[in-house]
Chain A
Amino acid sequence: MKDRTVLLARYGLLAAAAVFIAVGLLRREHLGVMEKAVRICLECIGIG
């Protein structure tokens, strides 16, 4: 793979990740993550 392609993909994906996180924070999605993570997920542990 050409260096220029890797360079573009590398920094492009880094920028996209930052934008996604910022949009998610603006939509307060992190609170949804926390709400789920602070309760025991019965399905995750195999209770149902």
Chain B
Amino acid sequence: MSGMHRNRIKGKGISLQRVVQLASAALLNGYAVGFQRGKIFTGGSKALCVPVLNCYSCPGALGACPIGSLQAALGGKGHRFPFYVFGMLMLFGILLGRGVCGLLCPFGLVQDLLHKIPVPKLKVPKRIDRPARYLKYAVFLVLVILLPAFAVSGSGISSPYFCKYLCPAGTLEGGIPLLLSNSGLRQAAGLLFQWKVLVLVVILAASAVIHRPFCKYLCPLGAFYAAFNRFSFFQMRLDREKCVGCKKCEASCPMNVEVTREINGTECIRCGKCRSVCPTQAISSGFSWDPGKTESIPREEKPEL
């Protein structure tokens, strides 16, 4: 079988990745009446952190955003180390790595869909792209950890700086739906809301021409999960003996990963594009308990041809 459509649901023309992304977005934001009433869910599941950047002020959100929770814990009274939130993040990271970004994140899905718009695409030159990828680590360290922990107001608490000034998911999933359905909030919106809408519009517009610009350059959650990519249980696998070096995988990779060199590098979001275009089916993915089987499949385990 040609590798071109192996990632597609038979006869449907929709990729497995897209099905998982849509299911995840619906599941994480399943409180549909919240959108109608302009109110948020207040049930017990809000004590659980979700693995993705999904604003807990989204009217549909059933769980808590881990980045918002992390800032709230670090910036709250007492400034205690947030074991619970870090533990949840580490658990998601070690299970899936950046598979969370490629398969589960609703804001990743939004960017993927916007990139389908037929406009000329921009390939960011390597000399800009490479250093810009480190921005997300700075965002995580400065806006999510250091400022909430140390830039404290007179009341002893600090702002969630990332959410307040940068997070586009909060504006898209929380701010806009709530303001549309709640006149009180609409009247309270001012300069800060205009700034956040501007950030959102710039990121959404950029998504049409650059694939997942927020994930590549700004997302603090992606930065955190990147540290787990090489160790996570969910891995991409490259059978080096089947690989013919055509580099179709690298040409198709939306995150510009050098697939044949480091298939589980920090930028791989496990979207499966490389797997679907491989003409020799040398690439596979899945949960691996044995790291010896991660990078390549040993010759003796390969089926006889």
Contact = CB atoms under 8 A, between A and B. Distances in A.
Interface in B165-197: 167, 170-171, 174-175, 178-179, 185, 188-190, 192-193, 195-197
Contact of A13 (B44, B47, B231): B231
* Interface SS, B side: helix
B164 A36 contact: no
B88 A21 contact: yes
A44 B83 contact: no
A40 B69 contact: no
B3 interface: no
B291 A7 contact: yes
B57 A21 contact: no
Contacts of B292: 3
A37 B72 CA distance: 10
Contacts, number: 168
B90 A16 contact: yes
A6 B231 contact: yes
Contact of A46 (B44, B83, B192, B232): B192
A20 to B, nearest CB: 3
Of A3, A22, A32, the most chain B CB neighbours within 10 A belong to A32
* Interface SS, A side: helix
A46 B72 contact: no
* Nearest 10 CB-CB pairings of A with B: A24-B84, A20-B87, A21-B87, A46-B196, A45-B175, A17-B90, A34-B47, A6-B291, A29-B84, A24-B83
Given A17-B87, A21-B88, A43-B163, 14 more contacts: A10-B94, A13-B90, A21-B87, A24-B82, A32-B73, A38-B40, A40-B40, A40-B178, A44-B57, A46-B164, A46-B189, A46-B196, A47-B185, A47-B192
